[in-house]
Homo-oligomer: A and B are copies of this chain.
Amino acid sequence: TQMALERDYEAQREIATRMRALMETTTEAIVFVTVASGRIKELNGPAAKLLGANVEALEGTVFAQAFAPDASGTLLEELVAAARAERLRKVKAETRRGRREVGLAATLFRAAGERMLICRLDRGDAVDGSGTDMA
């Protein structure tokens, strides 16, 4: 019924509010990527910082392009493969801006009929000292 739909809608809106609070609270770097397009659906501040840009600039862009060219061509496939592995397997990649090595832990899930990856990025050490904006 319409009323049940509206009640559900309220409950879902409340979850969306909690989601925002959680994305702002966690100090871990989190990125959601739509598998079909390879684009960033959502990311939080720590993830944007690690990737050397701000949240608004990165949302909607191709996730792999935030990484060094040698890795970016196969990064999405690697993440999907790692997510499918039975044990936690981290994918290492170098960020394009700041040339920082990060470890990516990916989990695959389905939302609204689309495959999506949630990636937790661990901050590694800078590969070289140039161009870093991580200070």
Specify how many copies of this chain sit in the oligomer: 2
Say what secondary structure dominates the interface of chain A. helix
Q: Give the CA-CA distance A5 to B5 in the complex, in Å.
A: 8
Q: Give the CA-CA distance A14 to B21 in the complex, in Å.
A: 17
Residue in B closest to A8 when the chains form the complex, CB atoms: B9
With A22-B30, A28-B27 already in contact, the answer to whether A109 and B9 are too (CB < 8 A) is: no
Chain A interface size band reads 35 or more
Contacts of A105 in B (CB 8 A): 25
Say whether A116 faces chain B, with CB atoms less than 8 Å apart: yes
Q: Give the interface of A toward B (CB within 8 A).
A: 2, 5-6, 8-28, 30, 32, 41-42, 105, 107, 109-112, 116, 118, 120
